[in-house]
Amino acid sequence: MFKKATILFFALCIGAMLGAQNAPKYGHMNLGNLLEMLPDTKKANDDLKVFADKLGATDDSLARALQAGAEKLQKEYDAGMLTPIQAQQRQAELQKQQEFLQKFEQEANQMVTAKREELLKPILTRVDEAIRTVAKESGYLMIFDTSTGAMLFANETDDVTALVKAKLGVN
């Protein structure tokens, strides 16, 4: 009976070891932190800032012109230099300028978003390829992004950030 128990125990141990070797492997990394470390991301952010600043300068110029026009209209109206019809015409012109400014601001926001996507797409593609390569080479079944906060529970897993950085050639 002792021999059967010993053989059964060894069989269970071997089965457990084989099962552990085939257990799925999960990893995690903070994608946001990795992206901040990449020189390409810094350059993309700098380029985006220059682009957004140019649009912002145009927006400021349009807003100042609108403000100046409104102040001039108010002064001339208060001074009695305009007839009511002239004041209405000038007010209609200022309304058109206001609508143009609002449209420009909406388009500028869309342009900044499109530029951000344009600049980040090649970086994200490169990072995605590196993550997939690391996962395949290291046998990971899944790699989770801890920067999104979507993880409700996770056992301790391997942080693969160093492996992905090495694959990207980043120190």
pLDDT at 140: 82
- Give pLDDT, residue 155: 46
Query: Which among 167, 166, 138, 154 is positioned nearest to 25, based on CA atoms?
Result: 138
Give the count of alpha carbons within 13 A of 112, CB side only. 17
From the list 62, 53, 69, 52, the residue with the least C-alpha distance to 104 is 62
- For position 22, what pLDDT does the model report? 64
Mean pLDDT by 10 residues, the chain (171 residues): 54 51 79 93 96 96 95 92 92 96 97 97 93 87 76 58 89 77
- Using only C-alpha atoms, the chain has a radius of gyration, in whole angstroms, of 31
Q: Residue 95's pLDDT is what?
A: 97
Cα(153)–Cα(48) distance, rounded to whole angstroms?
A: 36
Give residue 149's pLDDT.
56
Strand ranges (E), the chain:
26-29, 142-145, 158-159
Per-residue pLDDT, 59:
96
In the three-class reduction of DSSP (H, G, I as helix; E, B as strand; rest coil), residue 22 is classed as coil
Phi, psi of 158 (to 5 degrees): -85, 130
pLDDT of residue 143: 82
Residue 152: predicted pLDDT = 36
Give the global pTM: 0.70
Helix (H, G, I), strand (E, B) or coil at 54: helix
